[in-house]
């Protein structure tokens, strides 16, 4: 059995594995895809102390750093079920994998991350990272002085539009519904900005480009049925971040958005089970935030181990 079993191999999981392994305890990482969302990222300019890097390069460095330690890396493994520690499990937490194997550990760190909900229109996949973006904190500065749209009128969409309006030349917020769902105070703030336009009852139907980069967005006015084209250089999709926690439903406390509920120490609702990163209720979803949270969760797992007797 492991002392610390990390489920998920993104920035949070890699940090948790390194912090655990440095305590000289039996550490394992099971990950569907080691590297996580970082693998899908191009330019990274906010990984503090590294002015510029690229996703695949950072993902390789994460893996190399973990491999410097005695960590059992189980890549391409999907966790399907978590079984809390009980007398029946010999006091160990169990993680069942899709390949049929069961891993046992005294503590578990859940760091399965999240994925952005996509609009699923032509052009979105083709121009991802070439004008189609999902993270205003990450990619906002790349659009300085340019025109962008934000798709989605919930809190995250309206926050993104307000944020971007301070950087870009003009931002158009496109919402499918007849009204925005964001908090009133955010909506007021957005409508007060001179370089922001809000379009409601608008169904995005296509993201246009010149073959290299995005140059427009087409939406259908759901009242009149007419199509309109907005000329722009960037589209930020803000219609939801989905935590990869479907497999935990019913076993552990999740928020109404499906995020694993944790406290300041990364403790979940189950003894011996900790969590970190985008899969949790942590307020901001960023690489440095996930790494900090992964370290916290691993240190909390270690603290749990030294306070409990080995089963």
Binding residues for ligand FAD, per CB under 6 A? 7-13, 30-34, 36-38, 40-41, 44, 46, 78-79, 111-114, 116, 134-135, 138, 244, 247, 277-279, 285-288, 290
Give the C-alpha distances (Å, rounded to integers) separating 31 from 84, 134, 280.
Answer: 20, 23, 17
147 annotated ligand binder: yes
Nearest CB to ligand FAD, comparing residues 52 and 192:
52
Structure letter (DSSP) for residue 118: P
Residues contacting 19, CB < 8 A, separation 6+: 294, 295, 298, 299, 302
18 is in an annotated binding site: yes
271 is in an annotated binding site: yes
Report the Cα 8 to chain-centroid distance in Å.
12
Q: Would the annotation count 15 as a binding residue? A: yes
Q: By C-alpha distance, which of 7, 128, 162, 184 is closest to 78?
A: 7
Question: CB-wise, 79 or 190, nearer to ligand FAD?
Answer: 79
Helical packing angle, 11-21 and 55-67, nearest 10°: 20
Contact 216, 230 (CB under 8 A): yes
User: Please, are residues 38 and 55 in contact by the beta-carbon 8 Å criterion?
Assistant: yes
Residues 56 and 37: their CA atoms lie apart, in Å, by: 10
Question: How close are the terminal C-alpha atoms of the chain, in Å?
Answer: 10
Residue 83: Cβ within 10 Å count: 15
- Residue number closest to ligand FAD, CB atom: 113
The pair of structure tokens assigned to 248 is: 């935990």
Find out whether 136 is annotated in a ligand binding site: no
User: Shortest distance, CB of residue 198 to ligand FAD, whole angstroms?
Assistant: 25
Nearest approach, Cβ of residue 277 and ligand FAD (Å): 2
Residue number with CB closer to ligand FAD (19 or 34): 34
Q: How far is the CB of 237 from ligand FAD (least distance, A)?
A: 10
How many other CB atoms sit within 10 Å of the CB of residue 150? 31
Residue number, 116 or 176, with CB nearest to ligand FAD: 116
Q: Is 35 one of the annotated binding-site residues?
A: no
* 73 or 92: CB nearest ligand FAD: 73
**Residue 287: strand, helix, or coil:** helix
Toward ligand FAD, which CB reaches closer, 139 or 198?
139
Residue number, 30 or 190, with CB nearest to ligand FAD: 30
Residue 297 assigned as binding residue: no
Residue 265 is labelled as binding a ligand = no
Annotated binding site for NAD(+): 147-161
Residue list, annotated binding site: 3-18, 147-161, 268-278
């Amino acid at each position: 059995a492991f002392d610390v079993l990390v489920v998920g191999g993104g920035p949070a999981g890699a940090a948790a594995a390194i912090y655990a392994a440095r305590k000289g305890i039996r550490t394992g990482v099971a990950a569907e895809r080691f590297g996580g969302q970082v693998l899908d990222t191009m330019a990274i300019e906010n990984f503090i102390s590294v002015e510029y890097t690229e996703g695949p390069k950072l993902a390789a460095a994460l893996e190399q750093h973990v491999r410097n330690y005695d960590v059992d890396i189980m890549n391409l493994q999907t966790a399907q079920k978590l079984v809390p520690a009980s007398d029946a499990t010999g006091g160990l937490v169990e993680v069942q994998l899709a390949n049929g194997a069961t891993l046992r550990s005294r503590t578990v760190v859940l760091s399965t991350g999240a994925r952005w909900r996509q609009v699923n229109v032509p052009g979105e996949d083709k121009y991802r990272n070439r004008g189609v973006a999902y993270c205003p904190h990450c990619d906002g500065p790349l659009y300085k002085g340019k025109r962008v749209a934000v798709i989605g009128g919930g809190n995250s969409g309206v926050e993104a539009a307000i944020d971007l309006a301070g950087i870009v030349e003009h931002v158009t917020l496109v919402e499918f519904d007849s009204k925005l769902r964001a908090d009133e105070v955010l909506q007021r703030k957005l409508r007060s900005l001179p370089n922001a336009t809000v379009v409601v009852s608008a169904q995005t139907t296509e993201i246009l480009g010149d073959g290299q980069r995005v140059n427009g967005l087409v939406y259908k006015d759901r009242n009149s049925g007419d199509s309109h084209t907005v000329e722009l250089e960037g589209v930020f999709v803000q219609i939801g971040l989905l935590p990869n926690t479907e497999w935990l439903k019913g076993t552990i406390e999740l928020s109404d958005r499906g995020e694993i509920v944790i406290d300041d120490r990364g403790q979940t609702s189950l003894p011996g089970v900790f969590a970190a990163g985008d899969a949790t209720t942590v307020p901001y979803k960023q690489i440095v935030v996930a790494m900090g949270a992964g370290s916290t969760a691993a240190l909390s797992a270690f603290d749990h181990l030294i306070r409990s007797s080995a089963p």
